[in-house]
């Protein structure tokens, strides 16, 4: 039988009131906060760790996947491109992405064998550059702060309750952007969410020094969605024979310890083979790909490739294969039961195949920018003036429809 304790009732102090409250300082949260601040809104970005970037930096996922369709057409623009350039502003890998983005011939990728518009970045430099940019744009950042509960009235969230070194406090806002990766505000506010049923395989990516070069060791292969399994594709041998939800406190510690074990073993093997092979850094957050997402007004599926969407907020490509381009409908960002909550990044509404596409860095920037811009425009997402939103996104360089490039 489960046991409970009854907590005392308490008065939680309200520490601030904002136009836009953004939860999560990953790529989606950075993009949303930036977009909202650029619409002259008072923005608070709340992050439980003490550095920006989320999985991309603390999780050592340092590959900014392509913004293109694989045939020489860039499809994702705006903050997705701005952050890509920011990620390599102070350091770049000559071998990947550099000639395309910083070299003289940006349109060099035209054939099947050309490298796509992806880059490697340095996680520390990217995180610090992002922090500098957000502060310059007027975003207030609150680190070391975890959202733990929500207060709602009817269809609106009124405040998010957080805990940090100061204790338990609340923040009010007109609109809330859930860029937590795990859809925490939606879940805490009782908005409908969907868990990733398949569960995650274990990942253990870390950096080591090899012949004077910084190298990323990627232990644990990416999983294959059910749709691809039906087509006969098989996943590589997993690191451990277990699946993880990414949503349970005890399990997250187990993931972390199992991933540490795998890395430590691999590091010792490397050092035994070559004493100069020195470990440099390990991830400081669990490397969970998909956990919980909003059950959106709309859901993007594999069939959405090449389909015209009147309410598109931008384009993304498929990092797994050249060709498919998806127009992203605004409805995947919100659920009509909570009118002032919008989601971005790896917790938008998709089926499992598209989740694997939409969770990557460029897509998180695309949905983040749209969510932040929308949050600055209205506090009632189901009745947003979509043409006005599209007008702002277009004026910021975003292509909304495929025929426009």
Ligand X SMILES: Cc1cc2nc3c(=O)[nH]c(=O)nc-3n(C[C@H](O)[C@H](O)[C@H](O)COP(=O)(O)OP(=O)(O)OC[C@H]3O[C@@H](n4cnc5c(N)ncnc54)[C@H](O)[C@@H]3O)c2cc1C
- Point out which residues bind ligand X (CB under 6 A): 23-29, 46-49, 54-56, 59, 61, 63-65, 146-147, 179-182, 184, 203, 205, 285, 287-289, 345-346, 359-361, 364
- The SS3 of residue 48 is coil
Alpha carbons 271 and 58: distance in angstroms, whole number: 24
Closer residue to ligand X (CB): 240 or 271: 240
Reference 302, options 279, 320, 283; nearest CA is 320
Q: Is 154 exposed, middle or buried (0-12, 13-18, 19+ CB in 10 A)?
A: exposed
**In contact, 156 and 140? CB cutoff 8 Å:** no
Reference 316, options 380, 269, 273, 364; nearest CA is 364
- DSSP E strand boundaries for 57-166: 63-64, 119-120, 140-142, 146-153, 156-164
Alpha carbons 204 and 201: distance in angstroms, whole number: 10
Q: How far is the CB of 358 from ligand X (least distance, A)?
A: 9
Closer residue to ligand X (CB): 49 or 299: 49
Closer residue to ligand X (CB): 29 or 372: 29
Closer residue to ligand X (CB): 295 or 380: 295
Closer residue to ligand X (CB): 328 or 361: 361
Closer residue to ligand X (CB): 93 or 394: 93
What 3 state SS string does 315-378 have? Answer: EEECCCCCCCEEEEEHHHHCCCCCCCEEECHHHCCECHHHHHHHCCHHHHHHHHHHHHHHHHHC
Closer residue to ligand X (CB): 46 or 333: 46
Q: How far is the CB of 51 from ligand X (least distance, A)?
A: 8
Alpha carbons 170 and 148: distance in angstroms, whole number: 10
């Amino acid at each position: 039988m489960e046991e409970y304790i009854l907590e005392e009732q308490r008065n939680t102090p309200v520490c601030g009131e904002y136009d836009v409250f953004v939860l999560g300082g990953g790529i989606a949260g950075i993009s949303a906060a930036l977009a909202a601040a650029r619409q002259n809104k008072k923005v608070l970005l709340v992050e439980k760790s003490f550095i920006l970037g989320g999985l991309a930096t603390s999780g050592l996922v340092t590959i900014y996947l392509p913004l293109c369709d694989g045939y020489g057409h860039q499809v994702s623009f705006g903050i997705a491109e701005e952050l890509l350039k920011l990620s390599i502003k102070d350091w770049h890998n000559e071998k990947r992405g550099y000639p395309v983005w910083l070299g003289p011939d940006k349109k060099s990728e035209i054939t099947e064998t050309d490298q796509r518009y992806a880059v490697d970045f340095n996680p520390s430099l990217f995180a610090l550059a992002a922090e500098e940019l957000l502060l310059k744009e007027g975003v207030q950042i609150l680190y070391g702060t975890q959202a733990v509960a929500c207060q709602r009235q009817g269809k609106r969230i009124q405040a998010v309750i957080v805990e940090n070194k100061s204790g338990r406090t609340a923040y009010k806002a007109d609109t809330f952007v859930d860029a937590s990766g795990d859809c925490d505000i939606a879940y805490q506010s009782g908005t409908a969410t969907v868990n990733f049923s398949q569960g995650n395989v274990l990942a253990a990516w870390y950096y080591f020094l090899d012949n004077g070069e910084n190298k990323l060791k990627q232990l644990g292969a990416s999983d294959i969605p059910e749709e691809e399994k039906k087509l006969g594709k098989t996943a590589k041998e997993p690191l451990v024979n277990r699946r993880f939800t990414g949503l349970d406190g005890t399990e997250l510690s187990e993931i972390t310890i199992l991933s540490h074990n795998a890395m430590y073993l691999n590091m010792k093997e490397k050092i035994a083979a070559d004493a100069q092979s020195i470990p440099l850094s390990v991830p400081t957050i669990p490397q969970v790909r998909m956990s919980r997402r909003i059950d959106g007004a709309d859901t993007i599926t594999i069939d959405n490739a090449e389909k015209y969407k009147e309410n598109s907020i931008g384009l993304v490509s498929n990092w797994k294969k050249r060709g498919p381009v998806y127009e992203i409908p605004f409805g995947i960002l919100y659920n009509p039961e909570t009118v002032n909550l919008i989601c971005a990044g790896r917790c938008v509404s998709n089926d499992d195949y598209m989740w694997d596409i939409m969770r990557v860095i460029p897509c998180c920037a695309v949905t983040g920018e749209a969510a932040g811009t929308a949050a600055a425009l209205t506090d009632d997402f189901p009745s947003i003036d979509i043409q006005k939103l599209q007008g702002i996104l277009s004026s910021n360089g975003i292509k909304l429809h495929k025929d426009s490039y």
